[in-house]
Amino acid sequence: MLDKPGRVVAIDLVGPFPESVDGFCYGLVIIDLFSRMTSTYGLKTKADAADQVISWIENFKKHTSHDVYCIRSDNAGELTSNKFNKFLRDKKIMHELSIPYEHHQNGAVERTNRLLLDMARTFIIHARLPATLWCLALKQATFVFNRVVHDGANKTPYELCLGTKPSLHMVKLFGCRAFLHNINYLKQFVPRSRPLVHVGVSEVANGWVLWDPITNKLERGALVEFDESCLPCEGSDHANMNHVLSSIQARTLGDFTQIREMEIQDACIASTVSVAPFMSDAPETYQQALNSSDRTEWLQACDAEIQMMLSLHVWDEVPRTNGQEILNCCWVFALKRNQEGQITNCCARFQWEVASFDVKSAFLHSDIDHNVYIRPPPGVAVSPGCVLKLRKALYGTRQASRCWWLHLKSKLATIGFVPNPEDQSTYVYVDKNDFAFLWVHVDDGLFTASSPTLMLQLKKSLNSVLDLKWDESLSSIVGLRVKKDANGFLIDQPMLVDKIINLNPSAIKTRTLLPSSDLESNPSKEMDRKYLSRIGCLLYLAQGSRPDISFAVNYLARFSMAPDKSHWSALDHLIAYVCFTASTALPIRATGDANDCIRTFVDANWGGEGSRSVHGLISTVWGAPISWGSKRQTCAARSSCQAEYMALSFGSKDCCYLKSLLSQFIPVTPPLIFSDSKAAVHISKDCGTRKAH
Q: What is the pLDDT of residue 255?
A: 37
The yes-or-no verdict on residue 256 having pLDDT over 70 is no
Q: Which of 567, 586, 605 is the last residue of a domain?
A: 586
The yes-or-no verdict on residue 76 having pLDDT over 80 is no
What is the band of 251 on the pLDDT scale with cuts at 50, 70, 90? Answer: very low
> Which residue, among 355, 350, 357, 358, has the nearest Cα to 455 in the 3D structure?
355
The yes-or-no verdict on residue 690 having pLDDT over 70 is no
Question: Is 338 in the same domain as 456?
Answer: yes
The yes-or-no verdict on residue 114 having pLDDT over 50 is yes
Mean pLDDT across 573-588: 86
Q: Which of 187, 204, 231 is the last residue of a domain?
A: 231
Question: Is 187 in the same domain as 145?
Answer: no
Mean pLDDT (the chain) is 76
**Residue 114 belongs to a domain with what CATH number?**
3.30.420.10
The yes-or-no verdict on residue 271 having pLDDT over 70 is no
Q: Taking the CB of residue 640, how many other CB atoms lie within 10 A of it? A: 16
Q: Are 604 and 643 in contact (CB under 8 A)?
A: yes
What is the band of 326 on the pLDDT scale with cuts at 50, 70, 90? Answer: low
DSSP 403: H
Q: Which of 478, 508, 532 is the last residue of a domain?
A: 478
Q: What is the pLDDT of residue 508?
A: 63
Question: Is 446 in the same domain as 576?
Answer: no
What is the band of 521 on the pLDDT scale with cuts at 50, 70, 90? Answer: low
73 domain residue, yes or no:
yes
Domain extent at residue 505 = 490-586
494 domain residue, yes or no:
yes
Question: Is 144 in the same domain as 50?
Answer: yes
Radius of gyration from C-alpha coordinates of the chain: 31
Q: What are 631's strand-pairing partners?
A: 615
The dihedral sign for the CA sequence 678, 679, 680, 681: positive
252 domain residue, yes or no:
no
What is the band of 260 on the pLDDT scale with cuts at 50, 70, 90? Answer: very low
Q: Are 613 and 650 in contact (CB under 8 A)?
A: no
Question: Is 673 in the same domain as 564?
Answer: no
Mean pLDDT across 346-367: 62
Q: What is the pLDDT of residue 583?
A: 84
Give 382-441 pLDDT, tens digit per residue.
Answer: 788 788 888 878 777 778 888 888 888 888 889 888 888 888 888 888 887 777 888 888
The yes-or-no verdict on residue 305 having pLDDT over 50 is yes
243 domain residue, yes or no:
no
Question: Is 607 in the same domain as 633?
Answer: yes
> Which residue, among 209, 68, 79, has the nearest Cα to 138 in the 3D structure?
209
The yes-or-no verdict on residue 462 having pLDDT over 80 is yes
Question: Is 335 in the same domain as 397?
Answer: yes
Question: Is 521 in the same domain as 406?
Answer: no
Give the span between the Cα atoms of 175 and 220, in whole angstroms.
Answer: 15
Is beta strand 70-73 parallel, antiparallel or unpaired with respect to 9-14?
A: parallel
Q: What is the pLDDT of residue 394?
A: 77
CA angle, residues 636, 606, 528, in degrees to nearest 5: 75
247 domain residue, yes or no:
no
How many structural domains are present in the chain?
A: 5
Mean pLDDT across 641-653: 88
Question: Is 336 in the same domain as 417?
Answer: yes
Question: Is 23 in the same domain as 127?
Answer: yes
> Which residue, among 59, 49, 44, has the nearest Cα to 12 in the 3D structure?
49
Question: Is 566 in the same domain as 532?
Answer: yes
269 domain residue, yes or no:
no
How many residues are present in the chain? 693
The yes-or-no verdict on residue 238 having pLDDT over 50 is no
Q: What is the pLDDT of residue 188?
A: 57
Mean pLDDT across 204-215: 80
For residue 16, whether the previous peptide bond is cis, meaning omega lies within 30 degrees of 0, is yes
Identify which has the larger pLDDT, 259 or 479.
479
248 domain residue, yes or no:
no
The yes-or-no verdict on residue 132 having pLDDT over 60 is yes
Question: Is 383 in the same domain as 463?
Answer: yes
The yes-or-no verdict on residue 272 having pLDDT over 80 is no
Is beta strand 423-431 parallel, antiparallel or unpaired with respect to 315-319?
A: unpaired
Mean pLDDT across 125-154: 83
Give the span between the Cα atoms of 655 and 651, in whole angstroms.
Answer: 6
Q: What is the pLDDT of residue 206?
A: 76
Q: Alpha helices, DSSP H only, in 504-662? A: 529-544, 550-557, 565-580, 640-662
Q: What are 381's strand-pairing partners?
A: none
196 domain residue, yes or no:
yes
What is the band of 347 on the pLDDT scale with cuts at 50, 70, 90? Answer: very low
Give 1-60 pLDDT, tens digit per residue.
Answer: 677 888 888 888 887 888 888 888 888 888 888 888 888 888 888 888 888 888 888 888
Q: What is the pLDDT of residue 594?
A: 61
The yes-or-no verdict on residue 241 having pLDDT over 60 is no
Mean pLDDT across 637-641: 86
Q: Are 211 and 200 in contact (CB under 8 A)?
A: no
Mean pLDDT across 166-182: 82
The yes-or-no verdict on residue 340 having pLDDT over 80 is no
Q: What is the pLDDT of residue 270?
A: 45
